[in-house]
Structures are given as structure tokens and as C-alpha cells.
């Protein structure tokens, strides 16, 4: 059984960029629902329950056909949100090895921001934009619905949820404004830590 993780901060911690009500519903309703459906799908599959949620999603091919789609959607929703909460924090400076690596790869922070924003803004429908490490190289990518980069053997470093449930209460149809403000709540310290772990 997997538990809904605590955020590690209050629902209002990201105000005004991500509002309290959105955080509350997103975590306590949406993330809880993914968690419950993931657990329900795994009932009776003791071999899967021995693994971490990330391992299950990494090895989706090993999940029985009859529950694979449910696991992909809800297990993906479970781990994607676990990850998302961890990389959010207000007013963290862009620095460290990850800053050097981003500047080297994209040329500048502004170019990285443009590219990441483009990926987040152009994702049609529901999904995520990511900064990942792919065989040691930084890469921006999109995933649809609740798909995870882990299934493609890519290591997540940063992501933005662009499902409407993540911004609609405050931003309505203005996804670009949400993305712009998302840049004010990136926990670069955490992203840097993830980067250092990922490259080994
Ligand atoms: Mn979400």
C-alpha cells in the first residue's frame, strides 16, 4: 500500500504564485485519488507490492495486462505528484552545479526558461513538462496524461504539472501566466541535489 505523502510545507506556502485552495484540492483530492486507485489496482499483486512505486512505473511492461493501463495512469499520477511537491519552494536562488549545467547546455537561464515554457505551453491537453537527465545529458521533454519519464529510462530533475486542475482556479485559461509564475517557486536546491544524485 502506498500512502499520500505529506507536502513538507503548508498549503499556502507558495502564495501568491500557486494559491492555497489549488494546493489543497490538488494534494488532498487529486493526488489522494491517484493514490487510492493505484492501491486498488495493486490489490492481490503481492509481487508488485514488494516494489517501490517508481520501480513499478519503470517496468510497466512487467505489470499484468489487466491492470497496466490503470497502473500507468494512477501509479504515474501518484509518483509524478510525489515528485512535483518536492521541487516546489518559493524564492530559491538558481545556483549550484545544476545552474552551471543548464547554462552550458542551453546557453543561458533565459534560453532554458524559454524552451521549458514552450514545452509546458504547447503540451496539448493534460500532461507535464520535464527537465530530465537522459544518459547523462540534460533534456526538456513532455509527457501526456500521467506518463512518467522513468518509463523511458530518463531521470526527472524538474517538472511542471499542466493539467488544468493545477492552475484553473487561479489562472483559468491563462496557462502561460501559471507557467511564468511557476518559475518563482522552483526549489533549485532540491533540483541541484537530484542532479548530483542522477549523474552519480
Ligand atoms: Mn496534478
In tens, the pLDDT along 15-32 reads 999 999 999 999 999 999
pLDDT band at 78 (very low <50, low <70, confident <90, very high): very high
Distances (CA, A) of 70 to 23, 52, 74, 107, 199: 24, 17, 6, 40, 31
Cα 182 to Cα 18: distance, rounded to the nearest angstrom = 8
Give the distance (Å) from ligand 1 centre to CA of residue 107. Answer: 30
Buried b (16+ CB within 10 A) or exposed e, 14-33: beebbbbebbebbbeebbee
Cα 55 to Cα 197: distance, rounded to the nearest angstrom = 17
Cα 168 to Cα 174: distance, rounded to the nearest angstrom = 8
**Domain 97-199: CATH class, spelled out:** alpha beta
**Domain 20-86: CATH class, spelled out:** mainly alpha
Strands (DSSP E) contained in 40-136 are 127-134
**For residues 39-65, average pLDDT:** 97
Cβ burial of 96 (10 Å; 0-12, 13-18, 19+) is middle
Q: What is the 3-state secondary structure (H, E, C) of 55-74?
A: HHHHCHHHCCHHHHHHHHHH
- For the chain, residues classed under CATH 3.55.40.20 are 97-199
Give the distance (Å) from ligand 1 centre to CA of residue 5. Answer: 14
Q: Which tens digits make up the pLDDT trace of 149-196?
A: 999 999 999 999 999 999 999 999 999 999 999 999 999 999 999 999
Give the distance (Å) from ligand 1 centre to CA of residue 23. Answer: 10
User: What is this structure's pTM?
Assistant: 0.97
Give the distance (Å) from ligand 1 centre to CA of residue 81. Answer: 6
Give the distance (Å) from ligand 1 centre to CA of residue 99. Answer: 26
Give the distance (Å) from ligand 1 centre to CA of residue 137. Answer: 26
Residue 200 scores a pLDDT above 90: no
Distances (CA, A) of 71 to 61, 128, 137: 11, 17, 28
Q: Are strands 155-161 and 137-144 parallel, antiparallel or unpaired?
A: unpaired
Amino acid at each position: 500500500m502506498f500512502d499520500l505523502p505529506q507536502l513538507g510545507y503548508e498549503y499556502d506556502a507558495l502564495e501568491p504564485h500557486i494559491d492555497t485552495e489549488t494546493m489543497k484540492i490538488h494534494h488532498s483530492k487529486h493526488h489522494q485519488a491517484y493514490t487510492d486507485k493505484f492501491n486498488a489496482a495493486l490489490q492481490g499483486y503481492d509481487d508488485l507490492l514488494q516494489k517501490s512505486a517508481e520501480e513499478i512505473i519503470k517496468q510497466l511492461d512487467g505489470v499484468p495486462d489487466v491492470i497496466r493501463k490503470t497502473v500507468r495512469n494512477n501509479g504515474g499520477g501518484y509518483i509524478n505528484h510525489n515528485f512535483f511537491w518536492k521541487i516546489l519552494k518559493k524564492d530559491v536562488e538558481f545556483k549550484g552545479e545544476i545552474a552551471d549545467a543548464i547554462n552550458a547546455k542551453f546557453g543561458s537561464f533565459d534560453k532554458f526558461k524559454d524552451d521549458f515554457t514552450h514545452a509546458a505551453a504547447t503540451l496539448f491537453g493534460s500532461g507535464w513538462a520535464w527537465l530530465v537527465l537522459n544518459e547523462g545529458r540534460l533534456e526538456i521533454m513532455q509527457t501526456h496524461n500521467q506518463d512518467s519519464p522513468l518509463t523511458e529510462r530518463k531521470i526527472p530533475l524538474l517538472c511542471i504539472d499542466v493539467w488544468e486542475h493545477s492552475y484553473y482556479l487561479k489562472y483559468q485559461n491563462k496557462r502561460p501566466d501559471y507557467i511564468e509564475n511557476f518559475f518563482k517557486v522552483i526549489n533549485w536546491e532540491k533540483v541541484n541535489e537530484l542532479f548530483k544524485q542522477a549523474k552519480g
